[in-house]
Amino acid sequence: QVRLVESEGGSVQSGGSLRLSCAVSGATYSGFRRYCAGWFRQTPGKEREAVASVDNDGRTGYADSVSGRFSISLDNAKNTVYLQMNSLQPLDTAMYYCAVKPGNSDCLVPWKYNYWGQGTQVTVSA
């Protein structure tokens, strides 16, 4: 089993910053030799979209819309994935989800992921 627990999101004004964290646990996850960890977001009526990903080799990937503003990192000692979000804009308002999957390919493809957190709301006001 794999359990993902996200930190609380929050509300910020445009141009502000937030950091999300996601603690990953479970015997199944501990057995992954190769894996992807990612952050995704979703707004009502829209499909879930990729934000950022990192794999077991530390390779990162970003959606064009957040590249240069967001940064994903992985603390293996704490089994925690972070998403640092800077220069936030109202269009970044969404429910944010962290997820993990075995294998380190297709890390930015939401439907490839097996395990998901419960989601955390991020709201950016103009």
HEC profile of 45-83: CCCCEEEEEEECCCCEEECCCCCCCEEEEEECCCCEEEE
pLDDT per position as a tens digit, 2-48: 999 999 999 999 999 999 999 999 877 777 889 999 999 999 999 99
Closest CA to 24 of 84, 61, 76, 62: 76
Please check the confidence at residue 97 and state whether its pLDDT lies above 80: yes
pLDDT per position as a tens digit, 27-40: 777 778 899 999 99
pLDDT per position as a tens digit, 101-123: 999 999 999 999 999 999 999 99
pLDDT (0 to 100) of residue 45: 96
